[in-house]
Structures are given as structure tokens and as C-alpha cells.
Structure 1
């Protein structure tokens, strides 16, 4: 564990360099390796990477302090403050966040662009990082909804419009046909992040709609989208195409790590389960048509039932107690060690308290 933390610390150290806009250097790609020519000359900058590093530093600075490396922690936190300032200055396009800057300073993911005018992860991570404010995240998420959500196809596009003739070229992403994979299709990793951001922003209806568009079981069972999907209903697709004549067709199943992300989004973001050491809480962010739910949690050699609202009778575990043995408010942290084996914890929503214990959501 110590060796891993040391490697992680050195990785953060190497990420502190910034370009002329005060944003981290992008090099030959960040999360989106297809954007491998945005910063290949060493000057291009990434808006998304700034959000990501804000989240990373928030988590790792306390570890550095705890290990007696306060100078490194202060250096990281100073960099974080600089990134946040740059994100809300050069990174802000007026109604959403830009995606990057090329080596020559040309913006990407801007209203000035004819292609890739807006990018999904730059908006989603403004929420997930916890480093922005409502004055920026609300219009950014509204722009995501207006420009990247395709309601008839049930898609959240990674970017829009797709790349075809962009100059300068962001990289090999432009070699994909428009609407395929990273080039404007629904790319599952990124769409899950958007789902999480929607839920954390309070738009639980949009978050559930996004879940249904990502879940292979839901998509395959849909009367219109199912026939177009053409993939297994029990395994995640890496992407779903977004351009005619293949709108809605799934691709790259059995190959994507986004299955773990969707599981995390379901349990931690929508159902709202969080466990930190000897504490747990439930902060449900489920759509209004849900009357409630139950979940079974195995922890520390015990089995607990967590209940929110009034679940339908046919979904209630037969072994769960009919009457709660413990109560908690939504978002309230409790010591799970004090719960007995077989306990039923009823989580009430009269006073929703969004709390944090150990960093941002993602």
C-alpha cells in the first residue's frame, strides 16, 4: 500500500505542470486517448484533466499530511486552487465548460467549434469533482441535456457534433465514422459519469433515464431500442452507435470496464450507499415513481437490510424484519458496528442531508 501511494504521489507531482491558460498539459491524450494530437507538441491543455486532478488532490492531500509530507500536500493544494481558477476563466465557454486547448491555443469543445462543440465529460466532472459551483454546473448540465441527450435513441453522446473535418485534428478519434465510439456515440464509461452527475445535481429523473439507456437488460427489453441494439441483455456494451443507419446498435460487449462503473453508480449514487470505515449512510437519489427499495448489505460478518420508503411487497426480502429495528435520516452517518446481525435500518427522507466522508463522489 505504501509503495502504491508513493507511485500515485509521483504521478500527481508530474501532473502539476500547466500551459498558458493555467490548465494541466494534455500531451498525447488524457482519458480520451483518441484525442492524441491536442497536445502532442507539449503545449495543449485539458479541461477534463483539471477536474480529475482536483478530485485526486482532494483525496490524496490528507494522506500526504498524515505521512508527514505536508510540503507536498501544500504544493498539491496550491495547484488545485490554480486549476479551479483557470477552469472558471479560460475553461468556461459562457454556457458550458470547454474540453481542451490545442497546442496553438485553439479551444476544443467550444461554441466556436463547428465540430465537437460540447463534450460530455467536461460537464459531468464539473459536478463529480466537487470543485465548481451551481452558477456554472447548472448551465453546464443543462447544456449537456440539451445538446448531448438523444431522447428517441436513448443515448448520451460523448460529444457533439461528431468530428469529420476538424482542423486542427484532435487525433485518431476523427478516423472513427461520425457517431461511432468516442466520435459522438454513447461511450459507456463517460455516460455513467454523466448519470452520476445528473443524480448528484438533483435530477434523479434524468439519472434514471440514463441508467435505462446504459443497462443492457433495460435497453434490450425496450420495444424500439431492443431490436436495434443487437447485443446480449446481460453484459455491458462499450458503446452504442449514434449515427444512421446504425443508431442504437451496441458495440464492444464483453470488453468494457464500464460494467463496474454502472454497478457503482447504481449502488453508491442512485441507491446512495456509502461505507467509510466503521460508518455507513444511505442517501437515496431515486426517481419519484419509486415507492421505495430494500437492499441487503453484508459487512463485517453481519447481514443488514437497508430500507428506503415502502418497497413493493414482491420486492421485499422474505427474511427481512417487518418492523425496522433502527432509523436514520437520509445522508446521516451511523456506526454500523452498533447494528446487530439481521438488523433492518429504515432510512427516512423528511430531511435529506447531503453529507460527505472522504472526498468527492467519483
Structure 2
């Protein structure tokens, strides 16, 4: 992952390449159809978004919140349009995920194919599952967030069949990982490693989950 960060992440243009260097059109190696793209475009060493998003999952699994959230910001199209100049260079809609971002020369940082469901779906999953830590496991919900230390917390509402779970997470100690305490409707529930393990029921009721992160938690 340190090699990934060193070789593939381009902070100037807010992107992460699929690989580097690109295959040259007149080169001896033939990896298949990706060589048909110009260097730095789409799968030929551009940011092929839905594949590159997996690095967010990897950094979050390692508990590296700063790395994971930095990449999430890079993949978020809004971040490419923070000024009129940036939006003009990005060149595509700033409110949808794009399949690719060019990575070489004057076009570096320009968006490609937009409204691509693969990249949108994986970016959504990265945010909800890898970063906010939402994990549905049968009749239990595992919550194992990886968040910036300066986040005070967050809230989620999850509808489980006919029931509704209101989840409040607090981070008073400025932790990046690890649940210290977990309560369901005022009663303590168990932990599983870094995660809170919340039993789910289809009783048509509204339930309240309160989670606290802290330095005393595993990985906190």
C-alpha cells in the first residue's frame, strides 16, 4: 500500500492511477485491448475509478483513516469542481461519478465517461461500508468505522425490513478506529474486534443504537 501511495496517487491532479507507466502504442508488450487507449486514458494507466476505489477499502482495513478519506475526496467528483477553473478543467458533470480520469499531460485531471454505474456503486459502498463501517451480516449489523480523528461522530438510519434503526456514533476521544461502547435501546451489546455487533429484529419498531469510539477500544 505504501508503494501504491507513492507510485499511483497524483495529489496535484487529485487522482489515483490504475497502474504506471502506461503501455506505449508502439511498445513491444501487448496486454490486450487497453493498449488501444492513448497513454493515461481509461484503463491504460488512467484512473479507472471503480477498480482504483478498492484502495479505499485497503487503507480502511489497515486503519489508515487519513489515507482512506483523502482518496475518497479524490474520487468524489465534487472535489474536482471547487472553483470555476477546476470545474472547467474537469470538464464533466461535478455531481456524478465518472468511469475514468485522465492522468498524463495537459489532460491530467480531466474526467471521462460519466453516469457510470460501476464507479458510482463502488464509491457509495466505499463510503458506507469501508469508511462509515456499515456491514450487514445475516441477522446482525456490524459497525466498524474508520473516520478522521477530528470528526465528532455521525448518524445513520437503517431500515431493516419493517423496523428502523437510528444509529448515533460519538467520537469524544478523537479516535480513528474502534468502538469502545455499544448500546441498543439503552442496553449494552457485544463487540466483535473493532466493531459493534448489533442484533436485528423485524418487529416493526424503532430502535436506537448509541456507539462510542475511544482510545480504549481495539485499534482506537
TM-score by length of 2: 0.83
Q: Which residue of 1 aligns with 2:134?
A: 273
Q: Which of 203, 210, 233 does residue 64 from structure 2 map onto?
A: 203
Contact 1:192/1:261, CA 8 A, preserved across alignment: yes
Contact 1:331–1:352 under 8 Å retained in 2: no
How well do the aligned residues superpose, as a CA RMSD in angstroms? 2.5
Aligned length: 203
**Structure showing greater Rg:** 1
Larger proportion of strand? 2
Is structure 2 residue 3 aligned with structure 1 residue 143?
yes
Distance 2:167 2:83 in 1: 30
Counterpart-to-counterpart distance in 2, 1:258 and 1:297: 23
How far off is 1:229 after superposition? 1.0
Alpha-carbon distance in 2 for matches of 1:339, 1:325: 17
The Cα shift of 1:255 comes to: 3.0
CA distance 1:343–1:197, shift in 2 (3 Å): same
1:222 CA drift (Å)? 5.5
Spell out, residue by residue over 1:137-162, the C-alpha distance to the aligned partner (whole angstroms, 9 max, x if none).
Answer: xxxx0000000011111111001111
| Residues 216 and 236, structure 1, Cα contact 8 Å, conserved in 2 | yes
2:158 alignment partner, one of 297, 301, 307 = 297
Specify every segment of 5 or more residues in structure 2 that has no aligned partner in the other structure, as ranges: 173-184
Offset of residue 204 of structure 1: 1.0
Query: Deviation at 1:218?
Result: 2.8
> Is contact 1:326–1:346 with CA below 8 Å preserved after alignment?
no
Alignment of 1:31-180 (within 5 A): 141-164=1-24, 165-180=26-41
- The SS at the match of 1:160 is coil
Which runs of no fewer than 5 residues in structure 1 stay unpaired? 1-140, 312-323, 355-362
Q: Choose between structure 1 and 2 for higher RCO, CA contacts under 8 A separated by at least 6 residues.
A: 2
Candidates 323, 334, 348, aligned match of 2:212? 348
The answer to whether the aligner puts 1:336 opposite 2:200 as a matched pair is yes
- Deviation for aligned residue 1:232: 1.3
**Do the aligned partners of residues 303 and 338 (structure 1) sit closer, same or farther apart at CA in structure 2, a change above 3 Å counting?**
closer
Alpha-carbon distance between aligned partners in 2 of 1:353 and 1:300, rounded to the nearest angstrom: 31
